[in-house]
Structure 1
Amino acid sequence: MSDLTTAYRRLLVAYPARYRRERGDELVGLYLEMAGDRRRPRPADAADLIRGGLRERLRVAGLSGLSDGLPAAGVIALAALGAIAVYYLATVEVQHLWPYSFNAPIGPFRTPAALAYLGCLVAVLAYAAFPGRVARAAGAGAVLLLGALLLVRGAIGMPVVTMPAYLLIPLFALSALALGAPRAPSWPVRLTPLAVTVAAVLVAAAHLPAPLAGESEPVGTIWETSTWGYSFCCSYLSPTTLVLHLTALALLAIGVVVALWDASDGRARGAWTLLLLLTPIALMEAMRLYPVEPFFTVASRLAASNELQVCIVGLLAAAITGVLLPLLSGQAIRLSRRRRVLD
Structure 2
Amino acid sequence: MNDLERRYLRLLRAYPAEYRRARGAEIVGTYLDLAATGRRWPSPADAADLVRGGVRQRLRATGAADLIPGVRLAAVLALLTGTALAAVWSVLELRPPAPYWGVPALGPVATLGAGVWVAWLLPALALAVDSARWARRAIGLALLLTVAVVPVAELAGLPRPPLFTLLPQAALGLVALALPDRLSLPVRLAMPLTAVGAAAATELLYAREDHYYYGWTSIEIILGMGRSLLAVTLLLAIGLLVVGDRRGGWAALTLLTPIGLLLLQDLVRSGAAYLPVGRNAAFSGLALAATTVTLLGTAALGAAVALSARAGRRTIPS
Give the TM-score band, short-chain normalised.
Answer: 0.7 to 0.9
User: Which residue of 1 is the match for residue 214 of structure 2?
Assistant: 230
**Amino acid in the other structure paired with 1:131:** S
Contact 1:75 1:181 in 2 (8 A): yes
Q: Separation in 1 of the partners of 2:210 and 2:283?
A: 19
Cα shift at 1:247:
0.5
User: Which residue of 2 is the match for residue 39 of structure 1?
Assistant: 39
Change (3 A) 1:94 1:288: same
User: Which residue of 2 is the match for residue 78 of structure 1?
Assistant: 79
Cα shift at 1:185:
1.5
Superposed counterparts of 1:53-132, under 5 Å: 53-60=54-61, 62-96=63-97, 99-105=101-107, 108-132=108-132
Q: Which sections of structure 2, spanning at least 5 residues, go unmatched? A: 271-280
For the pair 1:333 / 2:308, whether they are aligned, the reply is yes
Contact 1:169 1:283 in 2 (8 A): yes
Superposed counterparts of 1:1-343, under 5 Å: 1-16=1-16, 19-20=19-20, 24-35=24-35, 37-40=37-40, 41-60=42-61, 62-96=63-97, 99-105=101-107, 108-152=108-152, 159-207=157-205, 226=211, 229-231=213-215, 238-290=216-268, 306-321=282-297, 323-341=298-316
Change (3 A) 1:104 1:83: same
Cα shift at 1:161:
2.4
Q: Separation in 1 of the partners of 2:181 and 2:105?
A: 38
3-state DSSP of counterpart to 2:312 = helix
Q: Separation in 1 of the partners of 2:36 and 2:192?
A: 41
What TM-score do the two structures reach when normalised by structure 2? Answer: 0.83
Change (3 A) 1:92 1:8: closer
Q: Separation in 2 of the partners of 1:126 and 1:314?
A: 31
Change (3 A) 1:12 1:309: farther
Contact 1:164 1:307 in 2 (8 A): no
Cα shift at 1:20:
4.6
Q: Separation in 2 of the partners of 1:262 and 1:89?
A: 34
Cα shift at 1:246:
0.8
What TM-score do the two structures reach when normalised by structure 1? Answer: 0.78
User: Which residue of 1 is the match for residue 274 of structure 2?
Assistant: none
Change (3 A) 1:251 1:140: same
Contact 1:131 1:185 in 2 (8 A): no
Cα shift at 1:18:
6.0
Instruction: Report the count of equivalent residues.
Output: 306
Aligned CA RMSD, in angstroms, stands at 3.0
Cα shift at 1:43:
3.6
Percent identical pairs in the alignment equals 32
Cα shift at 1:36:
7.4
Cα shift at 1:149:
1.7
Change (3 A) 1:263 1:29: same
3-state DSSP of counterpart to 2:255 = helix
